[in-house]
């Protein structure tokens, strides 16, 4: 488990992180979402022990990460700015990684290289951006670390490769308890992979929740009524915790907080012509929750 306690970091006059508190559970995918400049990369570098916080502490399995070789052997950071040695091939990088990560699986790595169609003897400098991204993920997964920190890892991958990488993450989570921490500015990209998500804005986490919990407590309800005026009673008098309400033609769409059965039972008393509860997307969940806190997520992320 990763514990982030009161982390602050400045670079000269710029406050990158202004007091971060969060916890990342084992064998779950933590999505760190925010705009460019929100502090995502800085936080990942702190988590990997590359830089030291100005205040607060980061504990990985109850141990400090900074200048702790034993802890760093369990963490691999895939930067958004990929770097490989000059004139190196994947084969050269494998030998380098073997010296850093005791659990590095060369057989597994070469199997993935072959499956992705990457020549282990070819110079990496001749690879495309997407191929370099694939190689970085392959090396990361092969390292056998407990934690994999990914900065915009899916950016530059085509849709097929994105799904392939997500599948590999899922297998590693099930087989060896991998904990991926994925930073992205794209909510839609994180939709089908995150167990938990935190929204980072201007150096602070303004929202961090378990996705399943949010989906169970928030519901999107679409209704059509004989009398549109009845919605005034629903919005003002019924007692339902309505977060958002929109009307498109004759269809009323409510985002409601509460239990599914209770919501259906209350709306049914108004005898709607049509009613249906439909799943909320991650984007819709974050829009609802952050608007309650006074933020416009469309301006922050989308």
- pLDDT at residue 278 is higher than 90: no
Q: Average of pLDDT values for 194-220?
A: 84
- pLDDT at residue 302 is higher than 60: no
What average pLDDT does the chain have? 89
pLDDT digits (tens, 9 = 90+) for 168-192: 999 999 999 999 999 988 777 787 7
For 216-300, give the CATH class: alpha beta
- Report the distance separating Cα 287 and Cα 132, nearest Å: 34
Q: What ranges do the domains of the chain cover?
A: 2-202, 216-300
- pLDDT at residue 152 is higher than 70: yes
CATH topology of domain 2-202: Rossmann fold (3.40.50)
What Cα–Cα distance (Å) separates residue 290 from each residue in 32, 256, 258? 15, 14, 17
Give me the percent of the chain exceeding a pLDDT of 70.
Answer: 95
Q: Is residue 59 very low, low, confident or very high in pLDDT (cuts 50, 70, 90)? A: very high
- Report the distance separating Cα 106 and Cα 87, nearest Å: 20
Q: What is the DSSP string of the chain?
A: -EEEEEEEEEETTEEEEEEEEEEE-TTSPEEEE--TTSSHHHHHHHHTTSS--SEEEEEETTEE-TT-HHHHTTEEEE-SS----TT--HHHHHHHHHHH-TT--HHHHHHHHHHTT--TTS-GGGS-HHHHHHHHHHHHHHT--SEEEEESTTTT--HHHHHHHHHHHHHHHHHH--EEEEEES-HHHHTTT-SEEEEEETTEEEEEEEHHHHHHHEEEEEEE-S-TTHHHHHHHTS--EEEEEEEETTEEEEEEES-HHHHHHHHHTT--SEEEEEPPPHHHHHHHHHHHTT--HHHHT-
pLDDT digits (tens, 9 = 90+) for 81-132: 899 999 999 999 999 999 999 999 999 999 999 999 999 999 999 999 999 9
> For 14, phi and psi rounded to 5 degrees?
-95, 125
């Amino acid at each position: 488990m990763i514990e982030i306690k009161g982390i602050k970091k400045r670079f000269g006059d710029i406050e990158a992180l202004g007091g971060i508190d969060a916890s990342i559970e084992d064998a779950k995918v933590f999505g760190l979402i925010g705009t460019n400049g929100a502090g995502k990369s800085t936080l990942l570098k702190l988590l990997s022990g590359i830089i030291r916080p100005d205040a607060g502490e980061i504990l990985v399995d109850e141990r400090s990460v900074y200048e702790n070789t034993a802890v760093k052997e369990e963490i691999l950071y895939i930067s958004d700015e990929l770097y490989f040695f000059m004139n190196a091939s994947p084969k050269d990088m494998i030998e380098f990684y073997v010296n850093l990560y005791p659990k590095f699986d060369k057989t597994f790595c070469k199997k993935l290289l072959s499956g992705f169609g990457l020549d282990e003897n070819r110079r990496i400098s001749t690879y495309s951006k997407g191929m370099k991204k694939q190689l970085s993920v392959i090396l990361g997964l092969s390292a056998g670390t407990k934690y994999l920190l990914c900065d915009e890892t899916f950016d530059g991958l085509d849709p097929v490769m994105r799904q392939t990488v997500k599948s590999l993450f899922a297998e590693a989570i099930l087989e060896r308890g991998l904990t991926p921490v994925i930073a992205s500015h794209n909510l839609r990209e994180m939709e089908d992979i995150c167990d938990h998500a935190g929204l980072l804005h201007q150096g602070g986490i303004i929202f961090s929740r378990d996705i399943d919990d949010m989906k169970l407590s928030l519901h999107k309800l679409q209704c059509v009524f004989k009398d549109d005026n009845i919605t005034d009673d629903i919005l003002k008098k019924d007692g339902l915790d309505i977060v958002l309400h929109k009307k498109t033609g004759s269809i009323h769409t409510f985002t409601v907080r509460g239990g599914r059965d209770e919501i259906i039972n209350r709306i049914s008393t108004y005898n709607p012509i049509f009613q249906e509860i439909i799943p909320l997307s991650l984007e819709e969940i974050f829009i609802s929750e952050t608007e309650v806190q006074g933020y416009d997520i469309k301006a922050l992320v989308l």
